[in-house]
């Protein structure tokens, strides 16, 4: 079944907003935004500086149409781009928060450059939320029971990985299904 998106905001992101760790004044980058679920919801909630990128032109087109339909074009901007060239798109230290949801599993090459570029555009005190898909074997792993990619560890100081789930909407499904994921929170290494 083709993937059509997620039905709502990541619970981890929602919790960090509720706790005040992520605020409306923060500059947010959504790497691998897909159809724009998180970026658009943040804009709807009053976040005014949201950038979102994805290498899939069709996904970006869907996200832009949603932003236009919901009149959010002044709060969120979608670009067809790969993370491996973030410093060509944005100045260094541009973002307070970077969302990296289900992207790491799709990286086939340039992993080190990918995470180096993400770290470069983040404020030194910025926060990375990285969700990575895992197999059933790690479904309820203890905290820090799943190791992040070495390239991610090279560029970020990370929290213990927490095994959880994200709702997804496969095309043709009667309701949400769930992806097994591990969440890491990180800050760029100095």
Domain boundaries, the chain: 11-188
Q: For residue 138, how many other CB atoms are within 10 A of its CB?
A: 18
Distance in angstroms (rounded) separating the CA atoms of residues 180 and 163 = 7
Residue 91 CA to residue 177 CA, distance in Å, equals 38
Q: How far is CA 62 from CA 69, 83, 175, in A?
A: 11, 19, 21
CATH number (3.40.1180.10, 3.40.50.300, 3.40.50.150, 1.10.1740.10) of 11-188 reads 3.40.50.150
- Answer yes or no: are the C-beta atoms of 169 and 176 closer than 8 Å: yes
pLDDT in tens, 108-120: 889 999 999 999 9
Distance from C-alpha of 160 to C-alpha of 141, rounded to nearest angstrom: 11
Give tens-digit pLDDT for 80-103: 999 999 999 999 999 999 999 989
With cut-offs at 50, 70 and 90, classify the pLDDT of residue 132: very high
């Amino acid at each position: 079944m083709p993937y059509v998106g997620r039905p709502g905001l990541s619970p981890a992101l929602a919790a960090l907003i509720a706790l005040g760790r992520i605020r409306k004044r923060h500059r947010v980058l959504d790497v691998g935004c897909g159809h724009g679920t998180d970026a658009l919801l943040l804009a709807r909630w009053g976040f005014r500086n949201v950038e979102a990128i994805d290498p899939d032109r069709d996904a970006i087109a869907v996200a832009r149409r949603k932003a236009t339909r919901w009149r959010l074009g002044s709060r969120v901007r979608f670009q067809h781009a790969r993370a491996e060239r973030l410093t060509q798109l944005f100045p260094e230290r541009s973002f307070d928060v970077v969302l990296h949801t289900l992207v790491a599993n799709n990286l086939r090459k340039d992993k080190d450059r990918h995470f180096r570029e993400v770290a470069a555009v983040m404020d030194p005190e910025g926060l990375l939320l990285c969700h990575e898909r895992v197999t059933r074997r790690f479904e309820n792993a203890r905290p820090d029971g799943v190791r992040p990619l070495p390239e991610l560890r090279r560029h970020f100081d990370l929290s213990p990985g927490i095994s959880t789930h994200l709702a997804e909407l496969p095309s043709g499904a009667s309701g949400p299904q769930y992806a097994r994921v591990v969440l890491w929170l990180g800050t760029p290494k100095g």
